[in-house]
Amino acid sequence: MACKITLIGAGSVVFAKTLIGDILQFPELSDAHICLMDIDPARLKVADVMMKRVAETLGVKATVTSTMDQKEAVKDAKYVICTIQVGGYKPSTMRDFDIPKKYGLEQTIADTLGVGGVFRALRTIPVINQIAKDIADHAHPDCLLLNYTNPMAMNCMAVDAEVGIPHVGLCHSVFGTARMLANHTHLPMEDVSYQVAGINHMAFFLKFQYKGRDAYPLLYKVLEDKNRDFELVRYEMMRRTGYFVTESSEHQSEYVPYFIHHGQEMIDKFKVPLDEYPRRCEGIMASWKDTEAKLIGEGDHKMVVGEPSHEYGSYIIHSRETNTLRTVYGNVPNRGIIKNLPDDCCVEVPCQVDAIGLQPTMIGNLPPQLASMCMTNVNVQQLTVQAALTGKREHIYHAVMLDPHTSATLPLDKIWAMCDELIEAHQSDGFLGEFEPVIANTGRSYAGVGDQLIARAKARGLRFDQVGSGFELEVEVDNPSQQDATFDVAIELENDAVAFESTSATVNAPAGQTVVVTLPGKVNAEVEDMLLVKLTASDENVLCVDTMLRPYPVIAANDAGAAEFKIDLSGFPCAAGSLQRDGDNMVIHIRVEDSDIQPTNRKFFLGSGAEFFFADPTAEPVKHFMLLPDLNGEVSLVDGDRNPVAGAQVEFTKKELFYEAKITVSAALVNATQDTFFFDCSVNLGALGDAHSGGRSSLSHGANTKEDMTKAHLIDLSPALASV
């Protein structure tokens, strides 16, 4: 019954000896062809010597061959066992620990979830999928991939999505935890039965029974044992969820947000071993020479092959080859097995195996709290697989930002920076491929969005009330792409109320720059409504934004001589005021519905206050000043450089839900001596009244600045005969 069994990653010699030793101890498999493959020639040589001595020690007729050619390794193989680690302990695993630690993110194992698990998957998925493709092309038609490589769920999901060959992910956490719980409850293992389901490293003992009866009461006795100092995280999670989880406390502590990030006191209380995986690796490397001698039986060491382990791999192969029915726990595509988890995820469930293959047990619904907890991990797995399979860098950020431990520890800007540094480091090491760029400092792919040029037009100096006057239509083109662009822009008008010397222009837009082309125009007729100008470009990659030419909105004085204005924020009134002349002075009344006055920053982007803009129609410079209330109920009136406005008088009243002010200032100082002048007002609010958060809004919807009054309102005080 000889069959070819290939081990890829044979340099993991300790585990390899266990797996192959298990296989060769079945008489029906003792004549198998064992093919070893690794990319490290020194490790492969050790594995080759070791496996040949294992066969010799067992007295079996197995054939052992070695190769560094992956296609040759899988050729005609009926079973391919994968035990790889892409990038190794150094540099890759230490990158996954050291870089996050710089940002304040501590980890324990970092091979399954979290930022470490995400980047291990990104390195591994291209490699394991190539193994799967080689199996599809060169292996036995009935070949089964047995994957032991972490992150288990992400690797298996990727194989299923991109290649779709028969495969199963194998882990020792289910049978290991079952034996541990039997020990904790002092029960003979032969009398214990159980049912486990969930996702790898976060599967739960739905049933834990002694002679067919529920033995969970015994676990709760262990939980409340005041002398218990082991598995503190897992028992705490059982306390809160009602079920015991399969993977160790050090693993579990970084799959949920309840332990590590709460500080040293919590870490000490639950005995969370930070940097546990590097510690183990250092120990293995320090003792490697002695381990190697023991493995191959050199020197004073005699070759020893232990009793068969509980690893599922050999049992699956034996059951398929001999039609011996067994139950194992495997990681398989969901396909409705667990109904309240997605079909495209990878689930860990009991599977029956015989000559037909693996048949997963239908579980139905997990208890809702367990399914929800699994989903916090599945979300990360799905996004990581998407990043690996599509090459979209954006999903790397998304996966890490949704990781429970990372999101509980770091703000978004640090998550982005950490991911950028990890990507660059792993790429420089040669273990991570290229990904589609994103728009700078965002989580959105650059292609099709960030590389689009943007063209928009705005009018300067347009006065529809002055027939025959000239103006300019500026077409501003932003080229964020990495390539220079040359194309034509054209405008189309609704009617002939305005005319242009030319309705098209050629744009030369260097990469990463913004340019402006100008189309001179002339007003042919007075317009009372807005006039649409359609903007088009000869290049399809240019996003053209149409513009509306409009008369300046006019606010005329009422019978009392006041020009009144109102400002909304998200559809809610947030400020109201008026302008009125009093001799040589301008009097401004304003009420702002701000119930939570906040300090302003230097550029008035944040905080509380009101900005006022005035401009004379004869194109005098824009006058700009700000009304700034403070937390103590005081107020100041300053210009754009934060200098007090000379001669101004301010009467200020602060209430619980609003404040109001009367400002008297020289009309000449603000260029408002004429009957008509341009005006705009912007307000910043800490909170809008008693019901809404704050923000910024303006009379002209935020279009104007101290240099640009393109969309200002025209104030007409010509009827203003009454004084204040």
432, 423 in Cβ contact below 8 A? Answer: yes
Q: Give the Cα separation of 296 and 50 in Å (integer).
A: 5
CB 713 within 8 A of CB 700: yes
Instruction: Show the 3-state SS of 545-563.
Output: ECEEECCCCEEECCCCCEE
Pick from 555, 489, 493, 490: nearest CA to 524: 493
Query: Any residues with CB less than 8 A from the CB of 301 and at least 6 apart, and which?
Result: 293, 294
Q: Which residues contact 173 (CB under 8 A, 6 or more apart)?
A: 200, 201, 203, 246, 247, 248
Q: Are 271 and 229 in contact (CB under 8 A)?
A: yes
Distance of CA 192 to the CA centre of its chain: 42
Structural contact between residues 497 and 462, judged by C-beta atoms closer than 8 angstroms: no
Catalytic entry in 172, 262, 301, 589: 172
SS3 393: coil
Nearest of 317, 238, 231, 288 to residue 11 by alpha carbon? 288
H/E stretch holding 493 reads strand 485-493
The pair of three-digit structure tokens given for residue 697, joined into one six-digit string:
């809004």
**Torsion sign across C-alpha atoms 5, 10, 16, 21:** positive
N-to-C CA span, the chain: 108
Residue 564 structure tokens: 């009144």
172 is catalytic: yes
Distances (CA, A) of 415 to 107, 151, 276, 369, 439: 15, 20, 22, 27, 16
Rg of the chain in Å (alpha carbons): 36
What CA–CA distance (Å, rounded) separates 69 from 470?
76
- Do residues 345 and 334 touch, judged by C-beta distance below 8 A? yes
Enumerate the active-site residues: 172
